């Protein structure tokens, strides 16, 4: 649709075309090839001493990560409830049970107190959870100091779902490198994209090697086809990696742009009562993948759906926050620990258009539509 303002659209204004043309002149378009190596090396520099194995999606990265953390059929895995379904789906692929935990209000991520209550109760029921999936939602890091303490105390590793937080920092440490294993997504609307794609992050060479092995059909290192385990076809292809290498070159710029988009919304909306932004706690740096606002209908006189549909009429795409997974029919058999924090945030939340390249003019259009909504209510 012409003149539409999208939620989060990709932009290829760097070396993408050139690199892809390069790949197409070579026979190496599948998994394996120089761009795949270079894409991964680009992360080694950023993540040192961690490294990344490039995969075909963030979901497959979580699947492999859970296998490497020893999750098997009949196990339990704790997962932040307030997240996209892909955080938890791989638990079910493995025949394990997701156990969902509520969020806290400062970062919207897994609540350390509720997490500890969940672990104690699962232990009392005779099951020790195999892993804790922590998500850095919309780019905001979780409360890792508190989470590390719990993880260590109970001996349960953290899997960091950093699908939305590439370029974010927690007390100077890069998101993706905070858990025992981390994952990124390079899906189409993420901060950088390879079309579809993902990556698994670890500082343990053995884990990285096993991830490569499992993601490449578990092919043994001989010149013929020898397999001792069942593997997966989860590696990233060289065409995607060529796009990814070019995208990664512009990551820092994109983070600054997304943060500027957030800052601009905040200034433009500062006069409007009843609209709230998620602030960064001391030591937290979000990539501001999406700018999210909470609308208090008691103050504004309109709710998130009124605003979403008003924006839609102007060809402006906005979206609800993730619906908590403990409320999804797909996970109706999963236990849940916590209160209504995630539910309340979900009830008030809306993601505003946040592309790195959204113009000031377009942001003003979004704000004008919001202003009109106030006007309509007071009329
Ligand atoms: C996008 C996303 C994923 C999944 O990544 P894909 O590359 O789409 O498979 C996982 N978790 C979260 C929180 C995400 O936003």
Q: How confident is the model over 29-62, as pLDDT tens digits? A: 887 789 999 999 999 999 999 999 999 999 999 9
pLDDT score recorded for residue 23: 94
As a whole number of angstroms, the distance between CA 164 and CA 142 comes to: 12
Comparing 30 with 362, which gets the higher pLDDT? 362
Please state, as a whole number, how many other Cβ atoms lie within 10 Å of the Cβ of residue 232. 16
Say which CATH architecture domain 251-378 belongs to.
Answer: Alpha-Beta Complex (3.90)
Q: How confident is the model over 75-86, as pLDDT tens digits? A: 999 999 999 999
* For the chain, percent of residues with pLDDT exceeding 90: 94
Residue 1 has pLDDT above 60, yes or no: no
pLDDT score recorded for residue 379: 79
pLDDT score recorded for residue 133: 98
What average pLDDT does range 219-239 have in this prediction?
93
pLDDT score recorded for residue 31: 75
Q: Measured from the CB, is residue 80 less than 6 Å from ligand 1?
A: no
SS3 140: coil
pLDDT score recorded for residue 281: 98
Q: Measured from the CB, is residue 334 less than 6 Å from ligand 1?
A: no
pLDDT score recorded for residue 36: 96
As a whole number of angstroms, the distance between CA 136 and CA 179 comes to: 11
Residue 273 has pLDDT above 70, yes or no: yes
Query: Ligand 1 centre and the CA of 19: distance in Å?
Result: 25
Residues of the chain with CATH 3.90.1150.10: 251-378
Q: How confident is the model over 130-143, as pLDDT tens digits? A: 999 999 999 999 99
What average pLDDT does range 101-126 have in this prediction?
98
Query: Ligand 1 centre and the CA of 164: distance in Å?
Result: 7
Mean of the per-residue pLDDT values of the chain:
96
Residues of the chain with CATH 3.40.640.10: 15-249
pLDDT score recorded for residue 274: 97
SS3 77: strand
Q: Measured from the CB, is residue 355 less than 6 Å from ligand 1?
A: no
Q: Does domain 15-249 have CATH number 3.40.640.10?
A: yes
Residues labelled as active-site residues: 190
pLDDT score recorded for residue 33: 83
What average pLDDT does range 165-175 have in this prediction?
98
3-state secondary structure 91-138: HHHCCCEEEEECECCCCCCECHHHHHHHHHHHHHCCCCCCCEEEECHH
pLDDT score recorded for residue 30: 80
**Best residue among 83, 85, 87 to mutate for probing ligand 1, ranked by most atoms within 8 Å of CB:** 87
SS3 370: helix
Ligand 1 nearest atom to the CA of residue 86, by list position: 10
Closest CA to 158 of 136, 140, 139, 173: 136
What average pLDDT does range 262-276 have in this prediction?
97
Ligand 1 nearest atom to the CA of residue 197, by list position: 7
Q: Measured from the CB, is residue 324 less than 6 Å from ligand 1?
A: no
Comparing 297 with 29, which gets the higher pLDDT? 297
Long-range contacts formed by 365-368: CB under 8 A, 24+ apart: 365/5, 365/314, 365/316, 366/5, 366/265, 366/311, 366/316, 367/265, 367/268, 367/269
Q: How confident is the model over 316-344, as pLDDT tens digits? A: 999 999 999 999 999 999 999 999 999 99
């Amino acid at each position: 649709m012409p003149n539409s303002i999208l939620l989060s659209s990709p932009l290829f204004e760097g070396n993408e075309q050139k690199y892809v043309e390069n790949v197409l002149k070579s026979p190496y378009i599948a998994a394996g090839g120089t761009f795949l190596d270079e894409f991964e090396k680009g992360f080694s520099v950023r993540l040192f001493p961690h490294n990344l194995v490039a995969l075909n999606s963030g979901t497959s990265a979580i699947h492999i990560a859970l296998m490497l953390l020893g999750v098997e059929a009949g196990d339990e895995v704790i997962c932040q409830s307030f997240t996209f379904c892909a955080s938890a789906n791989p638990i079910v692929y493995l025949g394990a049970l997701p156990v969902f935990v509520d969020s806290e209000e400062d970062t919207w991520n897994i609540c350390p107190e509720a997490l500890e209550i969940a672990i104690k109760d699962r232990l009392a029921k005779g099951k020790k959870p195999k892993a804790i999936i922590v998500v850095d939602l919309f780019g905001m890091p979780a409360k890792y100091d508190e989470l590390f303490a719990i993880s260590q105390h109970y001996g349960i590793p953290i899997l960091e779902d950093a699908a939305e937080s590439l370029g974010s920092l927690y007390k100077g440490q890069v998101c993706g490198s905070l858990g025992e294993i981390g994952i990124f997504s390079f899906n189409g609307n993420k901060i950088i994209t390879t079309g579809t794609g993902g990556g698994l992050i670890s500082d343990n060479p053995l884990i990285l090697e096993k991830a490569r092995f499992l993601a490449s059909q578990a092919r043994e290192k001989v010149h013929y086809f020898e397999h001792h385990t069942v593997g997966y076809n989860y590696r990233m292809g060289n065409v995607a990696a060529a796009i990814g290498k070019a995208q990664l070159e512009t990551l820092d710029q994109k983070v600054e742009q997304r943060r500027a988009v957030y800052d601009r919304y905040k200034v433009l909306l500062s006069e409007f009562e009843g609209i709230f932004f998620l602030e960064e706690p001391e030591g937290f740096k979000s990539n501001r993948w999406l700018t999210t606002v909470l609308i208090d209908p008691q103050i504004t006189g309109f709710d998130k759906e009124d605003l979403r549909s008003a924006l839609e009429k102007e060809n402006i795409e906005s979206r609800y926050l993730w619906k908590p997974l403990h409320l999804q029919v797909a996970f109706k058999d999963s236990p849940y620990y916590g209160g209504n924090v995630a539910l309340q945030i979900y009830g008030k939340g809306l993601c505003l258009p946040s592309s790195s390249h959204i113009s000031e003019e377009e942001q003003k259009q979004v704000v004008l539509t919001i202003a009109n909504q106030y006007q309509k209510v007071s009329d």
